[in-house]
Copies of this chain bind each other. A is one copy, B any other.
């Protein structure tokens, strides 16, 4: 009845499966490579890492001699931790729930002006355009690196998902702007010259 910590637990395990590291580096890693589809705050990271140790899924080693700050705590995944991770990976992912505030605002469009909606859509379009460019750049980076050393097939797949998503959202925003813009001109062609 007390199973707790939700997905964060598995995210930590996945991060530690990559390499033994600290809560701080996990946060940086998430911010840089995962932020487009996942995010965790320190408020979740540190308590979750502690629980991992309590449950025997990771071990911690305190390193006070290393250089900066108050010393770091390096977490390493254990065999039971690897088992827990791979068990979770086998289970069907939960169905994602979307919460698009922009769609909400468009739904309620009758309570505002066309101009307001067009403004939101324009920002949305530009944001997705930018994300698309960034993601394409990131993809090229990986394509370069890949020829050399690492197999980043899985990272490329998540980036590819971003590319599909951002392209779709950009295309939709452009289409939506067109439809809303055209909405004023009905069946009357009255001209008062």
The stretch that binds B, out of A20-28, A43-51, A137-145, A152-160, is A152-160
The stretch that binds B, out of A53-61, A65-73, A88-96, is A88-96
Task: State in angstroms the CA–CA spacing of A156 and B106 once bound together.
Answer: 10
Main secondary structure of the interface of A (DSSP, over half): helix
Chain B residues in 8 Å Cβ range of A7:
99, 101, 104
Chain B residues in 8 Å Cβ range of A169:
161, 164-165
Given contacts A36-B98, A92-B120, A157-B180, 11 further A-B contacts (CB under 8 A): A14-B104, A37-B98, A85-B108, A86-B111, A86-B112, A89-B116, A90-B112, A96-B102, A156-B179, A164-B169, A168-B168
Chain B residues in 8 Å Cβ range of A108:
14, 17, 85, 89, 154
Task: State in angstroms the CA–CA spacing of A108 and B103 once bound together.
Answer: 32
Size category, A interface: 35 or more
For the complex of A and B, the 5 pairs showing the least CB-CB separation, nearest first, are A168-B168, A93-B101, A14-B108, A89-B112, A164-B172
What are 26 of the A-B contact pairs (CB < 8 Å)?
A7-B99, A11-B104, A37-B98, A37-B103, A38-B99, A38-B104, A89-B109, A90-B112, A92-B120, A94-B101, A96-B98, A96-B99, A103-B161, A106-B154, A106-B157, A106-B158, A107-B155, A153-B180, A157-B176, A160-B172, A160-B176, A164-B168, A165-B165, A165-B168, A167-B168, A168-B168
Could you tell me if A127 and B95 are in contact, using CB atoms closer than 8 angstroms?
A: yes
Query: Chain A interface (Cβ within 8 Å of chain B)?
Result: 7, 10-11, 14, 17, 34, 36-39, 82, 85-86, 89-90, 92-112, 116, 120, 123-124, 127, 153-158, 160-161, 164-165, 167-169, 171-172, 175-176, 179-180, 183
